[in-house]
Amino acid sequence: MIPCMSSHLFVQAPAKLNLALSVGATRPDGMHPISSWMVTVDLFDDLHLERLPEGNFSLFATVWHRDALRRSDIDWSISKDLVNRAHDHLEAFVGRALPVKVRVEKRIPIGGGLGGGSSDAAAMLRAMNALFELHIGDEDLRGLAANIGSDVPFLVSGGSALVGGTGGDIQVLGDPPEVHAVLFFPAVACPTADVYRQFDRGAKAPMLRSDAVAALASRPSIGPTDPFNDLAGPAQDIAPSIADDREEIAMVTELPVHVCGSGSSLFVICSDGMHAQALAAHCAAKLALPAVAVRTCANQTPYASRTPCDSASVQRSL
C-alpha cells in the first residue's frame, strides 16, 4: 500500500466482466455457490476523497459523470449505499472514526451486471486505506469486502481471478489477458435477487461447472464464442427485451452476444482494440443502444490529487 501524502485522493473503480459464470443449486442458507472467471475492464466510476479533520461528520455524494452513457435515478438511501457501508465497516475494523468527504461520479450503469456499486465499495476500501495510512493488507480488505457484497472481494484487487463460493473464495490470476470487447447498455435493469429466483425455477437441477470455468481462464486468449453464463436465460426471463436487444446486436455485429453477470448489460468479444472501437461507433450509429469499447485492465492505484471535492455537490451526510 502506497502512503498518501495529501488530504485529497482520487481513485477509479473499474467495471467487471464475468467471462465465465456457472451457478450451483441453492445452499441451506439460501445463497448460491458460483464459479466464475472475472476480469476488470477500463470503464470506470471516479471517486474523489478528502480527509476531514477529526470530529467532522463524513459526507457522501453520488452523481452521474458527464461521460455516462446510460443514466438512471440515484434514489437509494444512504444506509444502503455500498460506499457508505464500506466506510462504516472500515471504521469498525480500525475502531475509530475516519471522517471523509466522498464524491462518486458514475459511468457504470446501475443494475447492469457490471459490478459498479461493488467496485465503488472496493475502491473506497483501497482509497481509505491509503488516505488514512491504515496499512491494511489485501486479505483483510477482502474479508471486510465480503460483508458488503459478493462481488466486492474480487474488486479489491481486480485484474483477473477465479471466484468461488458466494464470492469470497478468490484465486488471483494476476493481470488479465488482453481482451477487447464492446459493451451495450439496455435501458432495463435486472435486479440480481429476481434473476436468481428465476434461476431457481429452472427445470434442470443446476450443476457447478468449475472445471469449465478454470479451463477457459487458463487459455492464452478467448474467442467470440467462448464466454458462457448460467444467468443469461433467467435475466432474459426477467427482462424479455434483452433477448430482442441481443438479436439486434448480433445482426449488426455478426458476433455472439453475451449477458454481463446477472444482466442487463451485454457484450461481444472483438479481435483487437481497433475492431472494438470501430464496432462500438458503428453500433452506436445503427442501434438505439449506448455502446462503448473496453479492454481488460488491472485495478487502479489510488493517488494524491490537488483537486478537492466540490463541497456544493455533497448532498447526503451521515
The catalytic residue positions are 16, 151
C-beta separation of 124 from 87 below 8 A? yes
3-state DSSP assignment of residue 18 = strand
Of 34, 5, 41, the residue nearest 20 (C-alpha): 34
C-beta separation of 184 from 245 below 8 A? yes
Query: Judging by DSSP bridges, how do beta strands 59-64 and 100-106 pair with one another?
Result: parallel
Of 155, 47, 64, the residue nearest 100 (C-alpha): 47
Return the number of other C-beta atoms located less than 10 Å from residue 311's C-beta.
Answer: 11
Alpha helices in 201-299 (DSSP H): 210-217, 232-238, 241-253, 273-286
Of 202, 258, 252, 196, the residue nearest 225 (C-alpha): 258
Q: With left for phi above 0 and alpha for psi between -120 and 50, is residue 270 left, alpha or beta?
A: beta
- Paired residues of 23 in beta bridges: 34
